[in-house]
Structure formats: structure tokens, C-alpha cells
Structure 1
């Protein structure tokens, strides 16, 4: 990106003090943190470099590690800053489509699964495979299940989704922070395309002409400060977990996959936290808080809001039949599915109440409950349900041009993007996919 363009977009952002707590081991800028990450030679090395920037080199990877785990302490009660959502512990039993049992009581918020060794094994295995083969067929495969023929279709729709989400989260302020929008777009595309994390930190992957390096430079220019570092490390964590999730889709008989272990646990907390990290709801919550000009905020408020955003989304997707199309369903595990779904919604009901009754700002409570709004009305979920794309409307086309630019992809991405028919046999035959 040209410096003038970076400066223009940085100056167009919102002015707000840092919303995140000063808890990271890394004290430098976001650009300097990215330099530390970009020298990694493997995804496993990238994982441990990002972890060291977050926790420091002395972290023992126990459940006290806030990079992969979340040992939650409920916040103290305070005067509420907003009204309680109408779907709550006292009304949940009225809606059979959400689960006839309603609220089943406080679910343990502790970890049982040792995620660190599982994740290490996954990335080490696929690093070795990539070295042997000079790359892997899954790289840059389309995971949207919406029959995209070209990378530009996937990228432009991810940015469309970003605009629609931000409107649900922030209302008419959806376009005031171009850097926040681009950040959420990067978080979205990681779900839609199997992007090697090293390509993300190295700047090879670009959207509308921007790399993550361009974004971090712009955030530093716009004085995001430690918010930018939190956002970067959360994005890198997401990229690694998304990659591990996709590459471990068929784990095989010789080892247990991440989701096999998480879904097999009797404790839903492990799956909930992994789900939040794969969606990067924490980094997104930072952009919502900055857009809404609230802060500083506690780590608990940001994490609880982020978790609730993912849970409200998944609960609503389950209710309208969209979730059944997903490859990984953290509420499903044979005969325990009903119990797990009850635990899933009860965790949401506990956390959203804690946000309200501890005095969290209204934008965070709105973000946490917003899945009940955006899932029914956004194109993304109706496309997922139907398995096909909708045309971009003229108003949205104008907004994409204004907020992101003219050209979604470059020639390199256009060439490497492809449909992975081994994973998705329902995708049309050759001729529809690159």
C-alpha cells in the first residue's frame, strides 16, 4: 500500500483511548511484533513465537495460559449500564426451538482438555507434510460450501459480510473505522479459505491490495497502541487454529484430532473457548469497542462479550438449521448432544447476565447477543443454508468500493485458489471451480 493511502485510512479512523488491558509480555508496537512473527519457518514456530509475545517465555502452557485457555472469574456486581436481553434465564424455557429445557444452571467454566499438546502435534504433522511435498492440496482451498468459482467471489463476500456484521454491532457507525473493517475482513477470510499462516504474516496473502503488514502499519500510524498488538496476536492465533482445524479435518486412526477431543469432553468449556478463538471474536470485540468509543475494558469483559457473540451465533444457527451444514459442531457428540446443547446455551445465559449485572458498556452487551440479529438477516447464513451465493446488491457494491476498493484479489491468489472436492463432494464438477 502507498504511504499516502495508509495515512488517509489511518486518519479516517475513530479517536479512542486503548480499550485493552496492559497484560501482554510484548511491549513494542504491532509492526515490531509482526517482524518477530514473520521470521518463523514453520507454523509450529509461529505458534510458539505468538505465544511468547502474549505470555512471555516462562509460560508453562497450563490452563493458566491466557493465550489458549481462559480461567474465568465472574466479574463483581455493579450498576448495569444497559437493559438485560429479553432472551434470558427466566425466558429461555419458552422457546422450544432453542431447547425445551431452557436454562439448566451454571455450567463449570474449567478446562479438562490439554489443548497445547494436541495443537502442537497437529501443526508439527502438517509442517512436516508441507516440507515433504512443497505445499499441500488443501492450501487455498475454498471452505465456504457456496460453490465459489473465483477467489474474488470469496473475498468480496467476506468483505460484504464484514460490513453487515459491523452494522449489526455498531449501527450507523459501521463505516467510521476502515481499519477495524479490514481487520474483521481478515478474520472472516480465514474461515472461508485455507490460508497457510506463514503466508498471512509474510504478506503473501492480500485482500483488496492490503496485507496484514499494511494493516499493522496503518494501526500504528493511527495510534492503536497495545490494541493493535492484541488484535494482531489474536488474528495470528485464529489463523493457526483455523489452519489446524482444516488440516485435521480427517485426522485418521493413528491420532486423535482436535475436535474429536473437544467434542468428546464432558465439559463444554474447552469447546467454547476453542470456538471463540477460531472465530477471533476477541479481536473483533476490540474493534467494536474502539468503534463505539468505550474503554478501557477488562480482559474479562472483552472475553465474555466475545464468547457470547460466538455462542449467540451458534445457538441461532442451530435453531434455523444452518449449523447442520458446518464441518465442526461443538455442541454435537452422539447421545450427549442434548446435554451439550443445554450446557452451551446455559453458558451463554450466564455470561450475558454477568456482562449486564457487572456494568459492562452497552456496545459489549449488544455485541455478545448480536448473533440473534445477524444470523437471520445476513446473506452469509442464508447462502450457507442454500449452498449458493446471492448477487451483491447495488447499494452493497457501492459500499464495498467506498470502504475496501475496486479489486478484491490479485493474479497470484486468483491462480492458486481452488475448490477442494475431496472434502466437499457436493461441490459441482470441474468447469465450475478453478
Structure 2
């Protein structure tokens, strides 16, 4: 994968490692799609988590995303094959003219340097792990490093080829160093899936940043499933769910339950962001539509309510159910979302600086990343004049 000469080549190399060489790239391709099949209900003794109090029976009591409550029967099927959409967008991703967008700041609360941006992303990663895993949040530093790599590509426009070639570093670590640590610690299949999901995230994140026509195409259909799955991939909540299952020692979990939890984590985050007036600042809201946004918001909301119930009914471990609803917790607690609303950063507290040094190190970025970040910011400032 590190030998890929373009984003399109990296996409193909990552896909082959996920699906194998015979995948026909239809809506049944599980690399870009989620051809969901309802899991068989477990024996009563296998139900391991209580049903959330906020559910489809209580939803209409609250005004989340406009207050339309729950709509039963929201489709969980793809209306569009995402492969042609991504192939079309890929031409822009590999266009040399997009190079000037690399390492631009997408946080909505700009920092003064790349070093500061990376440090804040690592702060966010520690806080997410605490919200997901409680006191076990730092038991496996490699897991925290993984979440940090997954966080930073939302904040900076990082070319995916820079990730796999080792050009982009966080606290002196490359993704190859991350993979080596996973291998040494026996992550096995978890490591393979988490790393492929990470590369997929970098690809879809980069594409949506350089191709502003992608999301209008995703959001053009009556249903929201296509946009929801793309949103899940850009957030890499699947990779995070793998991490949570491992850190919390939750035991075996089906792929369907991991995906259901991943989707719920992303949607619960957006639902809570909507109540805090943060969702309006998102660059690519999955429910956006010129004429039918409220209908799509209701469908988006309803998918969460259906899938969180499905997790409980399928006997998913409590850690995985908690991960699915955790957006209602971490959006309120983490500085990241308050900074988005305020439009500026909040100072790192001394205790957090101590945790960052302990878990990551002393220097967030290398000179190359610092230079590229400042050059892009200077370009943006000149354009704004």
C-alpha cells in the first residue's frame, strides 16, 4: 500500500485487502457499503445491556433534530452504488491542482500551528477513550495512538498517500510504527481491520475535502442510508469500535453489531451536536437537502433509534451498546465541541498536558508538517485579502 502512486491506487490496494480480488464493487461490497442483514435474536440469557432510556418510545418527547421523533420503517438499504460516486470524485483527489489544499485546517477553531492542532487532536482522543472505556482508557497506549491518527484527518486535510508512506507523523510515529506496535501486541485480525478502516477513512475524508460535489450527490436520494454509511466511514467509528471491544475485553462481537454500534456512535454525536448548536457548523451534514432536510433529519434520527434497539436485542456487550450511544455524553463533556461552537481554542489544562506527555511524548509534529501547515495558512490569508 505504501507503494501506491495515487489516491486511486491506494483505494484499490486497500479494497483488495478487505474484500479480496474477486469483489465486483456492487452494493454488496462491504468495504464501501453496509449490506445489513438483521442478526438472529439471542437467547434471553445472552442479552447483556439494558435498553437506553432514550429510545423510539420516548423520542417524541424531545426536540432533537427538529422534534419529529421516530418514524418506523426507515430503510436500511443502499439506493446508490458508492463506487461510481467515489471513482468520479477520485479524479479530483488525484488532480495536482488539489495539492494546495493539503494540510489546511478544517477544525472550525483554528490553531496557530500544526503542532497545536495535533496536540488538541490527541487531547480529544484521550477524552474519547475515557468516555468510551472509562478507567481503562489508557490501558493500551497503542489504542489511544490509533484514535489520534483517526482524529487528525478530520482536522487537517492530509493526503492519504502521506499517511501510508510515512510522510505524516504524530509525535514522531508513523502509521507503520502503529502497525508494528499492533503486531507486537497481538492485535491480529483486529489490527488488520482497524488499519484498513483507518486508510479507508483517510481516503474518504480527503475526497470529501477536495471534491465539494460529493455530498450533494450522496444526499440527493430520498433515503439517508448512503449518506449515513459514508459518514460512518469518514468518522472511522468502525475502527474505534474495534478498539473499544479490545480495550474493554468485550469478547466476540458480530460484524453487524460492530457496524450498528459504529453508525449509532456517529448519529448520537450529531444528535447531541444539534441540541448544542454545533451541528450547524459541520461542513458535510449527512441529512442536508435543499427541499427535504427535515424529512431526512427524521430518517437519520430514526435509524439511530432502530439500530440502538437492534444492538440490545442482538445481545451486544454493554461496552458496544455504550459506544453506540456515547455521542450523547462526549459531545457535552469534550472541549472539542465547545471550541467548534465558540470558534476558538480553549487552553490545554496542566493535567491534560501531563497526560499528553505520558501517552504521546513531547513534540507533536515534525518540521515538514509545521512548514506545510503554515504555508497553507499563508495561502488562505492571501486569498482572503
> Which interval holds the TM-score relative to the shorter structure?
over 0.9
Separation in 1 of the partners of 2:324 and 2:91?
34
**CA distance in structure 1 between the aligned counterparts of 2:379 and 2:333, rounded to whole angstroms:** 28
Which of 138, 143, 160 lines up with 2:123 in the alignment? 160
Within 2, Cα distance between the matches of 1:354 and 1:422? 49
1:293 aligns with 2:249: yes
How far does the alpha carbon of each residue in 1:269-298 deviate from its partner, in whole angstroms, 9 at most, with x for none? 001000000000000100000000012211
Offset at residue 423 of structure 1 (A): 11
Hey, what's the Cα distance between the residues in 2 that align with 1:422 and 1:88?
A: 48
2:268 alignment partner, one of 282, 295, 312: 312
State the Cα deviation string for residues 355-413 of structure 1 (Å, max 9, x = none). 01111000000000000000111100000001100000011111101111111011111
User: Could you say which residue in structure 1 is the equivalent of 2:107?
Assistant: 144
1:210 aligns with 2:177: no
In 2, the alpha carbon distance for the partners of 1:423 and 1:369 equals 40
Does the 8 A contact of 1:104 with 1:343 survive in 2? yes
Which 5+ residue runs of structure 1 have no aligned equivalent?
A: 1-36, 250-256
SS at match of 1:87: coil
For residues 170 and 116 of structure 1, do their structure 2 counterparts lie closer, same or farther at Cα, with a shift above 3 Å needed?
A: same
Question: Does the residue aligned with 1:203 lie in a helix, a strand or coil?
Answer: coil
1:174 paired to 2:130: no
Deviations 1:42-62 (CA, angstroms, capped at 9, x unpaired): 110000010011111111110
Contact 2:143–2:243 at 8 Å: present in 1 too? yes
TM-score relative to the length of structure 1: 0.85
Of residues 69-78 and 175-184 in structure 1, the stretch that sits farther from structure 2 once superposed is: 69-78
Contact 1:113–1:261, Cα closer than 8 Å, also in 2: no
* TM-aligned CA distance change 1:415 to 1:113, over 3 Å: same
Q: 1:117 aligns with which of 84, 96, 100?
A: 84
* TM-score between the two structures when normalised by the length of structure 2: 0.96
Cα distance between partner residues in 1 of 2:309 and 2:105: 38
What CA distance in whole angstroms lies between the structure 2 residues aligned with 1:138 and 1:338? 32
- The match for 1:16 is none
Which of 355, 375, 386 aligns to 2:331? It is 375
Deviations 1:99-129 (Å, cap 9, x if unpaired)? 42211102111111221111112222331x2
Does the CA-based 8 Å contact 2:104-2:377 persist in structure 1? no
- Alignment map for 1:235-314 (pairs within 5 Å): 235-249=198-212, 257-314=213-270
Q: Distance between the aligned counterparts of 1:145 and 1:98, measured in 2?
A: 21
> Which structure has greater helix proportion?
2
Q: Tell whether 2:30 aligns with 1:66.
A: yes
Q: What does 1:220-231 align with in structure 2 at a 5 Å threshold?
A: 220-231=183-194
Contact 1:50 1:233 in 2 (8 A): yes
Superposed displacement of residue 306, structure 1: 0.5
Structure 2: 5+ residue stretches without partners:
none
Which position in structure 2 is the counterpart of 1:24? none
Partners of 2:278 and 2:263 lie apart in 1 by 19
Q: Report the counterpart of residue 46 of structure 1 in structure 2.
A: 10
Q: Secondary structure at the match of 1:334?
A: coil
The 1:423/1:379 distance shift into structure 2, 3 A limit, reads farther
Provide the aligned C-alpha RMSD in A: 1.8
Q: CA deviation at 1:82?
A: 1.2
Q: How many residues align?
A: 382
Report the Cα offset of residue 418 of structure 1: 3.7
Instruction: Output one character per residue of 1:218-247: Cα deviation in whole Å (capped at 9) or x when no partner.
Output: 100101111111011000100000000000
Q: CA deviation at 1:96?
A: 1.9
The answer to whether the 8 A contact 1:158-1:189 is kept is yes
Q: Distance between the aligned counterparts of 1:200 and 1:117, measured in 2?
A: 24
